């Protein structure tokens, strides 16, 4: 029974972790990522990339690319 509880706790932690990740698409080269690549980052880091105009949420990439 204890193993089952641990598995449930692990599953809850994984779900929480996935919610803390946000996808971004890069507008320019950044670290190891090329323009147009999409990657997931912790929400805080993703928001900073967006604020600094390094990346956008994937659904906004096409319109942001046209503005560049």
In a domain, 14, yes or no: no
Does residue 52 have a pLDDT over 80?
A: yes
What pLDDT shows up at residue 49? 98
In a domain, 39, yes or no: yes
In a domain, 35, yes or no: yes
In a domain, 61, yes or no: yes
Compute the Cα dihedral for 30, 32, 36, 38 and give only its sign. Answer: negative
Share of the chain above pLDDT 70, in %: 72
In a domain, 26, yes or no: yes
Of residues 1 and 51, more confidence is placed in: 51
In a domain, 36, yes or no: yes
pTM over 0.75: no
At 2, give phi and psi (nearest 5°).
Answer: -65, -40
In a domain, 57, yes or no: yes
Spell out the residues 6+ positions from residue 10 whose beta carbon is closer than 8 angstroms to its own.
none
Please tell me the total count of domains within the chain: 1
Please give the residue range of the domain that contains residue 44. 21-67
In a domain, 12, yes or no: no
């Amino acid at each position: 029974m204890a193993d089952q509880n641990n598995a449930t706790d692990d599953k809850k932690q994984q779900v929480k972790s996935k919610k803390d990740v946000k996808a971004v698409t890069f507008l320019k080269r950044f670290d190891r990522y090329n323009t147009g690549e999409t990657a997931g980052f912790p929400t805080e880091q993703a928001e900073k990339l967006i604020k600094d105009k390094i990346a956008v949420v994937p659904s906004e990439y096409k319109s942001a690319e046209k503005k560049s």
